[in-house]
Structure 1
Amino acid sequence: MSTDRAPVHVSVLPAETLTLLDPQAGQTWIDCTVGGGGHTRLLAERIGPTGRVIGLDQDPTMLELARSRLAGLPVELVHANFDQLGEVLTARGLDRVDGVLADLGFSSDQLGEKARGLSFREDGPLDMRLDPTAGATAADMVNTMSEAGLADTFWEFGEERHSRRVAKRIVERRAHQPFTTTADFANVVRSCVPRSGSIDPATRVFQALRIAVNDELGALDRLLAMLPRVVKVGGAAGIISFHSLEDRRVKQAFREPTVWQQVTKKPVEAGDEETARNPRARSAKLRVARRVGNR
């Protein structure tokens, strides 16, 4: 992806996020998912020149894309996944911070880059890695994983009812022609899954594969377990999720009364005006909690 342009991604729930997190001048905050830098900029403008925002992203290209948007603000950008938050803070001599924000959706800039292979709408390499510098690709996974493993992945991470049929067909096809492109893979999936309404039959399998390739739920579990150790008492944590597998985990973690006071009893969702302007916001759910306890 070229970085000589501004990000096209539009951050979801910007006003609600800022109001509920309530960052103050001089504080130190973590944006776990910089993306195009929209939320990072909002935090940095609120905490002012005496504050500090450390912005993480597992995709170095996104960090470069956001850099110009954040120029002149008290922001340090770090190439790291959010489950490395503890290590990032330790390396900077920090024990705890005033707040943490994580937007778990991937960026429109990433989705629009064919080489990522995140979308089945345009043909591209079957990659799907959010960090293109590390890990196995989606092609590696679908061409080597067992039939049972594929079926379990599609069911667990995509809730695909036809997971076993899809897995069987993948294994049959790859025996004589390995998968290399998103269009080819999507067409094979479509041949196994009946269409239901306007949703493309490949949607759930693509979601499941992307989650598995990037260990998204594992990373979220590690972040949620880490938050009580890194957020100061009185500090806040906010997480924006985009599907039920993520939201259930966040909801459960923030229900621990000895650690968190829930600021949002129910997830905050975008209103009609925002969804009309930014359709991606339709599935966004924001949960915020404030750290309680003695430590």
Structure 2
Amino acid sequence: MPLTSMTGFARADGDNAVARWHWELRSVNGKGLDVRFRLPSGFETIEARLREEMARHLKRGNVQASLSLDRVKAAAPLRVNEDALAVVVAAMKSLGERIELMPPRPEGILALRGVLESVETEEVEEDRAGFEQELIASFGEAAASLARARSEEGAKLETILTEQVNTIERLTAQAAASPSAGVDAMRARLKAQIAELLGASPALSEERLAQEAALLATKADVREEIDRLSAHVAQARELFAGSEPAGRRLDFLTQEFNREANTLCSKAADVSLTRIGLELKAVIDQLREQIQNVE
């Protein structure tokens, strides 16, 4: 399974008879899965279900999820205000007893303020639950889209990481082939260092001399660091090809890479091996930066 990035963006739109909405999701790297919501007032009750939905798609990352909601303004039903109508009819009757009036037209009466009034419909609990379910389903679409975006970004990221690991492998091979890392070179350095040691302290005992020689040999031998670097390269490739999120383990592996490169530099006996060690440190640092975005 390709590596997955923790960086991505997605959105999903929806509508029904009462509202239009759209979800917007953004994610960046994080130690765990941390989802922060911006929801319209009154919709905080669905947050727990939204978190469960997100956990189905992502394992790590800091995610910002915002919901924009626009209610559809439907024409409210009308009804006759009987009390207001009675007042109007009574007033017209009283006025008709005093002066001659044309018969009133119904539409004229209904046009009077307060005779017709709108009726606000109450939201039924079942309708509210159905609406919330639509919002959650739409959020699930956005979360799936975000996961796809992160996978696409992860494929690009894997290409970069693979090139960097290949560079580490090439530099490790150069270190192994360096004349100063060979057995003959190490033997010559060890011989010279022992001679220098005897010149400074000719009265050293055989036991002390053996200890000093072993210490000098350990400091001069970089083959163990080279072997470990090669093993780390193989492990990195195994993690790239694995089926589980590998970000945490790759992050730990870069620390191991760096430790071996530091030791190689400290043991380097000539400029060429030091240069290789410094190049290793540079590419390992680039690798570590990129791995911070791997899920």
Q: How high is the TM-score relative to the length of structure 2?
A: 0.21
Q: How high is the TM-score relative to the length of structure 1?
A: 0.21
Quick one: higher RCO (CA 8 Å, sep 6+), 1 or 2? 2
Structure with greater proportional helix content: 2
* Higher radius of gyration, 1 or 2: 2
